[in-house]
Structure 1
Amino acid sequence: MIKIIIVDDHAMVRSGLRLLLSGKEDIEVVGEGADGDEGIRLVRELRPDVVLMDLSMPHGKDGLTAASELNSEFPDTAVLILTMHDDDEYLFRAIHAGASGYVLKSAPHEELLAAIRSVSEGNAYLYPTATKRLMNEYMERMRRGESGDLYEALSEREKEVLSLTAKGYANKEIAEQLIISVKTVETHKSNVMEKLGLKSRPELIKYAVKKGLLQFE
């Protein structure tokens, strides 16, 4: 049996999901919660296989915060996000929080059941168009030079110039810190932009943020 907890702030949604799932021989709904705090408490108490979690819950912890905490404390419990938000930002945030799956509330019942069974076996599940979006995002990052391999292709001096430029230092200031000429700084900066496929300073800053290069001493 797949033991499930339903966490959603709408009682009618929880009742509908319980009704749907209770008719399945391999699924047992063992608890319900109205917010992330209740969801975490129920997981600690009941140790389910899957938590069916809404994203937007106005009271207590939201679904993303709860998913992140559950992923840290109970890595063997799969969190399946069930939401109305067909949005890239929420999708990527859910994945970053450690959710095992992401399903829309508008999806057919068969898709939800397939998602539950998939994540209960340790797999990940995304609705079909979300998978395509992730692939597109991955390809775009590769094109823009956001992979570790391209960063490692930079020389140590180029990495220093990249970090200082992203932190807002002017070429002259960078030259003084690194004890090199302004002309050399400009050459390094040009090489960095070319190697990483970046075309502007905003793109460079965005890249540096994602790489964690903006740590000020």
Structure 2
Amino acid sequence: MSTIESLFATRLYRASLSERGPKVDPAELEASCYAIAEDDEAGQQWCEDNAYPGYTSYASLTDLPWRFPIFKDMVDALDKHVAEFAQDLQFDLDGRKLVLEDLWINILPEGGTHGSHIHPHSVISGTTYISMPEGASALKLEDPRHAMMMAAPPRIKGARRELKSFIYVQPEVGDVLLWESWLRHEVPMNTSEDDRISVSFNYKWG
């Protein structure tokens, strides 16, 4: 009798940020993100020089949890989410923890996109969502086997979710999504007239 099983799972963690650690008010976070973006001249310049749509603090501010208590509360919650995900992934951490490596703000205006990419040198990456107006783009995740598919035909339109070439995840405000850092992902065009605001982060093996 023949059998078919799924191997080499790609895991995606989704939860409400407030389920772990201090409760973080999305409205207060949104106001903080705009205030930081307005004052961050180095970040604004980097976005202009690199044709980055909207604003990101990725290349300018490395100490948001130290500067702003609300981001410290966010990290306290994220630490717990990441620890839970690492346990699900059955990592042997050899007595060490996964620790925050970097954390940055993303403000994506109408028409803005963030191209396909991975996060090298990290273990777990993720995003928590501050503002997701109607029409804001989903997170697009790519099947990590693409580079090895060679001459494989495309999947049928109604392929099972675990066999699709791309998965679109539509987050809600307050959600946190986690994935292993090698998983290629992107943010398609924001079709909302309002900004799509999120905070992304990487964790490394401490």
How would you bin the TM-score normalised by the shorter chain? under 0.3
Return the TM-score normalized by structure 1. Answer: 0.23
Q: Would you tell me which structure has more strand in proportion to its own residues?
A: 2
Return the TM-score normalized by structure 2. Answer: 0.24
Q: Would you tell me which structure has more helix in proportion to its own residues?
A: 1
Which has the larger Rg? Answer: 1
